Amino acid sequence: MAVKVVTWKGAYWLDVVHKGRRKRRRVGTGKAGKKAAELAATRIAARLAEGDTSIFDPPKAAGPAPTFATIAEEWRRKYPLLHAVRPNTMDNYGSFTETHLLPFFGDRPITAITPEAIEDFIEAKRAPGGSVRRPGKALSDASLRTGLLALRLILQRAVKVKVIPANPMKEVEFRLAPRIDQVDPFSGPELRALLDGARTAVGPDAATMLRLWAQTGMRAGEMCGLQWQDIDLEQGTALVQRTWSRQRLGPTKTGHARVVSLLHPVADDTADWRPGATDAARSVLAGLRSITVRSREPEAFVFGQDSGQHSSPLSSMEMHRRWRRALAKARVRYRVPEQLRHTFASTMLSRNAPLLYVQHQGGWRSASVLLRVYARWLPQAAGISALAATLLPPAPTDASPSGASGAP
């Protein structure tokens, strides 16, 4: 008995010899083909050792391969039931599948989705006209990155149900542009002018919302999802535990709740970062207490709408309307409102706030993520100290052997 993996005509084959019978079968190409062939060889050898010679039986007539659309629909139905995936993530996958993948691959047999076909898709999407939302423009690499994850998962489903031997995405050669964070924070004078503009053009409630946003560094969805039961006006803190996105409430981006201070003096002309360091920073509490119409229900949204009862979060459209009016009144160069989060991080770090403290307050996944985006705002000496304290183990002490690292 012999089961060997051989190469022939650029592909990997199984060569099976057993009791005078011989069969050769093509498996695939590239690293994936080699791996699949080696795995199959091990399994066939085990079956032959147990007396199972079905490998030599005539092949059964196979029906037509399912289409890409069939496999994609099965994947979209089963994947969220089998994995802890966020609804927003599946929405993004589903939107890309409907808009880009199905028009390109939908009617093709799944077996026709080759590495070359995938490379043709990437080329078409990165060329002018690849975007559906912006006619004549290429699809952004950020959108393509999400879409190719969905494509990989759909093809992996096809591997699982044994309609293709290996995932062709593994043999695709492409490199997307590195992700660039569009960080453009407001200066202190700009932020103070923005708060004054909001108070004049929109009202004190809008000014309170923007000050709270700047002083906490919350994400936009976390601001919209903030409820009165989350606010502790005596302590000057908030429990950030949900986000409002795509017309539904969900957990925070990291899946973790956090308690944050409302009182960081981000907008104020001071070198201090500590909560409550200025009267202006503490004024946000008075602003919250004097919100124009405040529901008594603990589950009411702090910055909500609907008949004055705050029964639903502030809509994205209304938030951006208020934002544009405040910017226009302040005569400050336009940036998206999410730049308030960038302003919080850059300001806090530039004032020597501890790196891990800023990470916790803003809810970044790790200190390395924070550093990757905001390291240039660290004062040079303080930045080196913060990096050393965060990333390096403590120096050995008399109680530990020389060169031994401390506790993680």
Q: Does the pLDDT at position 408 exceed 70?
A: no
Q: What is the 3-state secondary structure (H, E, C) of the chain?
A: CEEEEEEECCEEEEEEEECCEEEEEEEECHHHHHHHHHHHHHHHHHHHHCCCCHHHCCCCCCCCCCEHHHHHHHHHHHHHHHCCCCHHHHHHHHHHHHHHHHHHHCCCEHHHCCHHHHHHHHHHHHCCCCCCCCCCCCCCHHHHHHHHHHHHHHHHHHHHCCCCCCCHHHHCCCCCCCCCCCCCCCCHHHHHHHHHHHHHHCCHHHHHHHHHHHHHCCCHHHHHCCEHHHEECCCCEEEECCEEECCEEECCCCCCCEEEECCCCCCCCCCCCCCCCCHHHHHHHHHHHCCCCCCCCCCCECCEECCCCCCEECCHHHHHHHHHHHHHHHCCCCCCCCHHHHHHHHHHHHCCCCHHHHHHHHCCCCHHHHHHHHHHHCCHHHHHHHHHHHHCCCCCCCCCCCCCCCCC
Q: What is the pLDDT of residue 345?
A: 96
User: Average pLDDT in the 386-404 region?
Assistant: 41
Within-domain flag for 288: yes
79/157 same-domain check: yes
What separation in angstroms does the CA of 102 have from each of 111, 150, 151, 152?
A: 15, 12, 10, 14
207/110 same-domain check: no
Q: Does the pLDDT at position 391 exceed 80?
A: no
Return the top range by mean pLDDT from 39-48, 252-261, 390-399: 252-261
41/88 same-domain check: no
286/240 same-domain check: yes
The sheet that has 231-232: what strands, in order across it?
Answer: 231-232, 237-240, 258-261
Instruction: Note down the domain range covering 269.
Output: 188-338
Alpha-carbon distance of 16 to 132, in angstroms, equals 50
Q: How confident is residue 260, by pLDDT bands cut at 50, 70 and 90?
A: very high
153/111 same-domain check: yes
What separation in angstroms does the CA of 34 have from each of 6, 40, 163?
A: 9, 10, 18
User: Average pLDDT in the 121-146 region?
Assistant: 91
Q: What is the pLDDT of residue 60?
A: 59
Residue reference for tokens 């399912």: 66
Number of independent structural domains in the chain: 3
Q: How confident is residue 403, by pLDDT bands cut at 50, 70 and 90?
A: very low
Alpha-carbon distance of 26 to 10, in angstroms, equals 11
Higher pLDDT, 292 or 89: 89
Q: How confident is residue 174, by pLDDT bands cut at 50, 70 and 90?
A: confident
Q: How confident is residue 396, by pLDDT bands cut at 50, 70 and 90?
A: very low
Residue 145's CATH number: 1.10.150.130
Residues 6+ apart with CB under 8 A from 38: 5
146/220 same-domain check: no
User: Average pLDDT in the 279-293 region?
Assistant: 91
For residue 268, how many other CB atoms are within 10 A of its CB?
A: 18
Within-domain flag for 111: yes
Within-domain flag for 397: no
Q: Does the pLDDT at position 34 exceed 70?
A: yes
Within-domain flag for 63: no
Q: How confident is residue 280, by pLDDT bands cut at 50, 70 and 90?
A: very high
Q: How many residues does the chain have?
A: 408
Q: Does the pLDDT at position 307 exceed 80?
A: no
6/41 same-domain check: yes
For residue 408, count CB atoms less than 10 angstroms from its CB and return exposed for 0-12, middle for 13-18, buried for 19 or more: exposed
Q: What is the pLDDT of residue 28?
A: 85
Q: Which amino acid is located at 198 in the chain? A: A
Within-domain flag for 181: no
Q: What is the 3-state secondary structure (H, E, C) of 303-317?
A: CEECCCCCCEECCHH
Among 302, 286, 311, residue whose Cα is nearest residue 238? 302
Q: What is the pLDDT of residue 89?
A: 87
Within-domain flag for 346: no
**Under 8 Å between Cβ of 224 and 301:** yes
**Under 8 Å between Cβ of 106 and 69:** yes
Mean pLDDT of the chain: 86
Within-domain flag for 274: yes
Q: How confident is residue 394, by pLDDT bands cut at 50, 70 and 90?
A: very low
237/307 same-domain check: yes
326/208 same-domain check: yes
Tokens describing residue 351: 């004032």
Residue 288's CATH number: 1.10.443.10
283/161 same-domain check: no
User: Average pLDDT in the 237-243 region?
Assistant: 95
Convert the pLDDT of each residue in 74-126 to its tens digit.
999 999 999 888 888 898 999 999 999 999 999 999 999 999 999 999 999 99
Helix, strand, or coil here: 238?
strand
199/330 same-domain check: yes
Q: Which amino acid is located at 154 in the chain? A: I
Q: What is the pLDDT of residue 388?
A: 45
Q: Which amino acid is located at 406 in the chain? A: G
Convert the pLDDT of each residue in 309-360 to its tens digit.
446 888 888 889 999 999 999 999 999 999 999 999 999 999 999 999 999 9
Alpha-carbon distance of 171 to 193, in angstroms, equals 54
Q: What is the pLDDT of residue 64?
A: 86
Within-domain flag for 358: no
Q: What is the pLDDT of residue 61?
A: 55
Q: Does the pLDDT at position 5 exceed 60?
A: yes
Which of 171, 201, 228 corresponds to the end of one domain? Answer: 171
Alpha-carbon distance of 364 to 322, in angstroms, equals 27
249/314 same-domain check: yes
Alpha-carbon distance of 128 to 132, in angstroms, equals 10
